[in-house]
Amino acid sequence: MLGLYFLIDLGYNVFYTAFPLHAISTLNWSIAKMGVYFTVLSGLLIIVQSTVLPRASRKYSDAALIIFGSLMLGTNFLLLIPGNVLLTYLAAGFFALGDGLMWPSFLSLLSKVAGRKYQGTIQGVASSFGGLASITGLILGGLLYEKLAGASFLIAGLVIYVVFLLNFRLRRFEEQIILKNR
- For the CA atoms of 48, 99, 83, 15, the dihedral, rounded to the nearest 10 degrees, stands at 140
Q: Are 36 and 157 in contact (CB under 8 A)?
A: no
> Model confidence over 143-158: pLDDT tens digits?
999 999 999 999 999 9
Give the ranges where 48-84 is alpha helix by DSSP (H): 53-59, 62-80
- How far does the chain reach from its first CA to its final CA, in angstroms? 23
Task: Count CB neighbours of 42 within 10 A.
Answer: 12
Q: Are 164 and 8 in contact (CB under 8 A)?
A: no
Domain CATH number, residue 109: 1.20.1250.20
pTM exceeds 0.85 for this model: yes
pLDDT bucket at 10, cuts 50 / 70 / 90: very high
> Model confidence over 50-66: pLDDT tens digits?
999 999 999 999 999 99
Q: How many domains does the chain have?
A: 1
| Angstrom distance (rounded) from CA 22 to CA 7 | 22
Q: Which domain holds residue 27?
A: 2-180
DSSP per-residue string spanning 132-146: HHHHHHHHHHHHHHH
Helix, coil or strand: residue 29 = coil
Mean pLDDT, all residues of the chain = 93
Q: What is the pLDDT of residue 125?
A: 93
